[in-house]
Copies of this chain bind each other. A is one copy, B any other.
């Protein structure tokens, strides 16, 4: 899927629909090319795919108006906010309207006494943490990109903190959702648990805009831990690093983060972030707890690492040093982009049972060593979730073919070892076939029947998760 970036103008929407939308949204309905283009890509390498129009909605009611019209005219709607998705989730592959939710970016309520916050869908995770700053609480889910919380909900995102705090699956309590027929429902409550009927909240979490449009989200927030310590430790080979992680996880200590970066990733971030880390497979650790627990956990982890040949354990307890380290980790994507001028990256994303992680990464490293493409391995190894960043020339079709072959091998390996085809990025357009392999035709038929029941005209982000 090379990014040829040849702009193909989509067919026009029905005139009657345009008139209605103009009446409601005025200048917030647009077909201006620059805006269509902005909504025609995400962080994947799919070619620019223009929607037929963009509508900027600023309330649940406006979303309802739009959905009712699109339902009537059978025109697709594709929700859009940060545009940081990685598998083509926001592309209007069947035409239709890109629903830009960025004006719905208010933190509606912070309920520290209930450890929850309620936000509109375009609130970015960093923005929520800024608004939480003086409360003593924080929102832990951190997928790297400054994604919108609506998008994170829709893709069941997770990231570096998930090993301790879980993914969006565990951290969304309640939703407001606009259904395909324009009806607004509330799923879940502010209560921490419930046995009240089918778990609609979890059904919409991870549904990628295909079952309803999420317009409010209540998430869990957590007290900022008393003490946080971050550390790094390098290893002479990647297997030793992974074995260290496996042993720490199996011990059950509540480690806050543990990330793996291979040699090439460290090289890249040294260059990009002006660091001088040893260019070896490296683990980034974070411990966050009471002061004495952090000490205990850190000592335990250090001991385990040492037993696996871990070298030069270094600690960063000052907020500034920690931030610099984690910023470097998050910049790995951009750092790897610099490996080859003008490059683009395809990021793979699988998750396996922790007992299979070492085998999985070893075999993948062999695949990568046999390929001519530059590729780095990194990830949230504490969850058994890892990524390969495949660095390619967007003008070179062979690079794409090679990258897709590697991706396919990585996914098949994960499936064979009892894992999943996507740990946190979602299915989008890119993993539809892998999804079928993972779940089997029976479970996929169940998904289709749910989609059909909730969106009979297939207007909600069609062609994502399930083929249509």
Give the interface size class of chain A: 35 or more
**A211 / chain B contacts, CB cutoff of 8 Å:** 198
Identify the stretch in A2-10, A338-346, A414-422 within 8 Å (CB) of chain B at 4 or more residues: A414-422
In the bound complex, what is the Cα–Cα distance between A115 and B384 (angstroms)? 12
Which A-B residue pairs are the 9 nearest by beta carbons? A223-B252, A202-B202, A194-B420, A113-B355, A190-B353, A453-B453, A185-B442, A449-B453, A185-B443
CB of B199 within 8 A of CB of A442, answer no
Chain B residue with minimal CB distance to A192? B383
Which residues of chain A in 353-377 are interfacial with respect to chain B, using CB atoms and an 8 Å cutoff? 353-355
Contact partner, A250, options B113, B185, B465, Cβ 8 Å: B113
A98 at the interface (CB under 8 A from B): no
In the bound complex, what is the Cα–Cα distance between A435 and B187 (angstroms)? 12
CB of B199 within 8 A of CB of A203, answer yes
Contact partner, A197, options B115, B189, B439, Cβ 8 Å: B439
CB of A166 within 8 A of CB of B157, answer no
Q: What is the distance, in angstroms, from A347's C-beta to the closest C-beta of chain B?
A: 13
Number of this chain's copies in the complex: 2
Contact partner, A191, options B205, B351, B443, B444, Cβ 8 Å: B351
In the bound complex, what is the Cα–Cα distance between A434 and B352 (angstroms)? 40
A32 at the interface (CB under 8 A from B): no
CB of A186 within 8 A of CB of B418, answer no
In the bound complex, what is the Cα–Cα distance between A156 and B194 (angstroms)? 8
Chain B residue with minimal CB distance to A163? B192
A44 at the interface (CB under 8 A from B): no
Q: A197-B465, A205-B199 are in contact. Are A192 and B351 (CB under 8 A)?
A: yes
Known pairs A113-B250, A199-B206, A446-B454 / 14 extra A-B pairs, C-beta < 8 Å: A166-B193, A179-B442, A186-B443, A191-B351, A191-B418, A193-B424, A196-B438, A198-B206, A199-B202, A199-B203, A222-B252, A223-B252, A449-B453, A452-B453
